[in-house]
């Protein structure tokens, strides 16, 4: 008789979900602003914002930074900015 091991959910297993979000919504919010003013409003480095504006967005931003920008700097919940993508991270 064949015995089967029970399926155990490993709560310590590595996350399968992405940990990074696109900066595109932040670029849309700040597109008409000068780069220094926009970076200050978002609480990020001017060079980072300029890099994103130049198209270097594939690396994205960590969800913890996204949360900080939304809550501390923009005064809103991250889901307002990133929509359903926020709930996937």
For 14-54, what is each residue's pLDDT tens digit?
656 678 999 999 999 999 999 999 999 999 999 999 999 99
10 has pLDDT over 70: no
Q: What pLDDT sits at residue 9?
A: 66
Helix pair angle (35-42, 46-53), 10° resolution? 110
**Cα 21 off chain centre by:** 3
Q: What pLDDT sits at residue 63?
A: 94
Tell me, yes or no, if the pTM score tops 0.85.
no
Backbone φ and ψ of 10, nearest 5°:
-85, 105
pLDDT, one tens digit per residue, over 56-86 is 999 999 999 999 999 999 999 999 999 999 9
Cα-Cα-Cα-Cα dihedral sign, residues 32, 42, 86, 56: positive
Q: What pLDDT sits at residue 19?
A: 86
């Amino acid at each position: 008789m064949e015995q089967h091991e029970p399926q155990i959910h490993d709560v310590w297993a590595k996350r399968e979900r992405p940990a990074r979000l696109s900066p595109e919504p932040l670029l849309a919010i700040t597109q008409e602003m000068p780069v220094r003013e926009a970076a200050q409003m978002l609480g990020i480095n001017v060079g980072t914002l300029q890099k994103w504006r130049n198209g270097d967005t594939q690396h994205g931003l960590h969800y913890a930074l996204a949360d900080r920008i939304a809550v501390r700097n923009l005064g809103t919940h991250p889901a307002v900015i990133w929509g359903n993508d926020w709930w996937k991270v």
